[in-house]
Chains A and B, each alone.
Chain A
């Protein structure tokens, strides 16, 4: 019983890794907390749903994130870049306005009722793992989360462009002076972050139903992940996502009365101990 709950916590943690890493990447480059990130995740899920209806799940898994990536680049070019000299609060409010617009678009196009997407046939089985039976799809979600974490780490640590992204996150002005086109880099990173939100949306669709309220919970959980992990830190976010996934899942089973409180208590405790988050050292 404990094994299956820990595995489920791992599944939710993996989902949070995918969503929160997009949030952390965008924060790193643009110093913007994107309140529309949850809505972009939802939009990705709905676009994926429509694509899957007309072709299949695998097409949705590739095309929806690509569409979201383009939306993200446009958001950076015609939104965040123009606002980069404004105070952070103004930009937060603009992303909040965007959130309302996206929620309305989703409700208008797809309606308010719950929709569900079938698992792809290839993964519509279950496997024995550590003595319990798990749906294969859930294991695939964990694999996807691990792949995103590993892929991003290798990209940031091992490539020239990753080096530019890391240096632009530390000091955009100096990086630009060295001849790096930080605007193009930001468009790419915001596009990637938004594509990851869309990817998470499609991945979620088969095991959580689609509804216009799906954005709120994920937004709040991924906020907690990046605050606990330290704003803008990817390793911090990965670690915090895993912890939060376990706290959410185990709390709901073993401490149902106070399960809603646990993530907040954890967050408050960590922030009292380290106000900048686990991996945060920058202000």
Chain B
């Protein structure tokens, strides 16, 4: 397919451009508070992208992905406390573990219809919150646990890693790589197959598509991306507690996805960055932050169908072509 090839060939230049702009931009910022805010935004942008791929490719919303976010941190923390493996192995084991676990779980839960799926993921996410809160000996219970990072990770000394500019740079590059992978996935065979299943599962199975495995694979991809965000957060904060598994974390991330718009690959990440910058901007009203964002969510869902990114995309295309946008936005109507 020609269109697929041209779409894929755009991924590399855009990624290089995004990395360059992000890194150059961060060099110009000297405020430590701003950098730490942007680092957090980049981590949550990865988190949101993981939830976004599930919505984009499978058309289902997860209210429980905080489980994979926290699980990344917990697996690393527990393995490092145990001391049996090196930090590098711990990080890799955590990501592989999440991928395998999510695939197996996906085989079970993607079979339930969309609405029940949303409810199941909420319940499932809360299960991990309760497990982490209750197993005091393993996880330190509600107090959480400090992650005993060694002096260096993947050959880089930890003090360098924790330099604000370096840490932001790592998170930013990880974000761009995740988005590039998701853009590639969208134009891959798995991407096309999963969209066919999303649009009409009966027709897809009539034309001979195996419908269960691709959906479980998308679920696993979405979990592993969220797991990467969890591992980066573990480096950033050096601490993990049940709070990071709570359903309100999943809910906030899902809001970023929806407000940003999930039909475009960069939409959820954009939503996360808007979320953090707006939260910083409103400052004094931060106590009512979630309610304000809840209202924003309702407005976005009621008045747009593709979030901020979709609206921006339409605006750009209108200017460029002098007509209503078709392309990406219109083509992915569920």
Contacts and interface: CB of A to CB of B under 8 A. Distances in A.
Interface string A213-235: 00010011001101100010000
Given A92-B115, A271-B112, A103 B127 contact: no
A101 B298 CA distance: 10
Interface in B195-215: none
B108 A272 contact: yes
Interface string B112-155: 11111011101110110011001000000000000000000000
B76 interface: no
Given A223-B122, A260-B131, A94 B295 contact: no
A261 interface: yes
Given A231-B115, A271-B108, A275-B112, A97 B295 contact: yes
Contacts of A108: 288
A240 to B, nearest CB: 13
B288 A104 contact: yes
A89 interface: yes
B291 A103 contact: yes
B301 A94 contact: yes
Contacts of B108: 268, 271-272
Contacts of B324: none
A282 to B, nearest CB: 10
A3 to B, nearest CB: 27
A100 B294 CA distance: 6
Nearest to A92: B118
Given A96-B251, A224-B123, A275-B111, A101 B291 contact: yes
Contacts of B61: 89, 92-93
Contacts of A89: 55, 59-61, 114, 118
B127 A97 contact: no
Contact of A90 (B113, B122, B255, B301): B301
B265 interface: no
Interface in A81-139: 83, 87-90, 92-94, 96-101, 103-105, 108
Interface of B is mostly: helix
Most buried by A among B290, B296, B334: B290
A94 B120 contact: no
B247 interface: yes
A101 B123 contact: no
A233 B112 CA distance: 16
Interface residues of A, number: 40
A271 B254 CA distance: 25
Given A92-B61, A260-B134, A267 B291 contact: no
Given A220-B122, A227-B120, A261 B114 contact: no
A155 interface: no
A188 interface: no
B119 A94 contact: no
Nearest to A83: B302
A41 to B, nearest CB: 16
B286 to A, nearest CB: 12
Contact of B301 (A35, A97, A100): A97
A216 B302 contact: no
B295 A101 contact: yes
A223 B294 contact: no
A19 to B, nearest CB: 14
Contacts of A220: 122-123, 126, 247
Contacts of B294: 96-101, 104
Contacts of B239: none
B290 A103 contact: yes
A100 B293 contact: yes
Contacts of B120: 227, 267, 271
A223 B119 contact: yes
B329 interface: no
Contacts of B297: 93-94, 96-97, 100
A283 interface: yes
Q: Name the 9 nearest CB pairs between A and B, nearest first.
A: A100-B294, A104-B291, A260-B130, A97-B297, A97-B298, A97-B294, A223-B119, A100-B290, A101-B294
Interface of A: 33, 35, 83, 87-90, 92-94, 96-101, 103-105, 108, 216, 219-220, 223-224, 226-227, 231, 260-261, 263-264, 267-268, 271-272, 275-277, 283
20 contacts: A33-B119, A88-B115, A89-B59, A89-B118, A92-B115, A93-B254, A93-B258, A93-B297, A96-B254, A97-B255, A97-B301, A101-B291, A223-B119, A223-B122, A227-B123, A231-B116, A260-B131, A261-B127, A267-B120, A271-B120
Given A89-B118, A103-B290, 15 more contacts: A33-B119, A88-B114, A90-B301, A93-B61, A97-B294, A97-B295, A100-B251, A101-B295, A104-B288, A219-B122, A231-B116, A271-B108, A272-B108, A275-B111, A283-B113
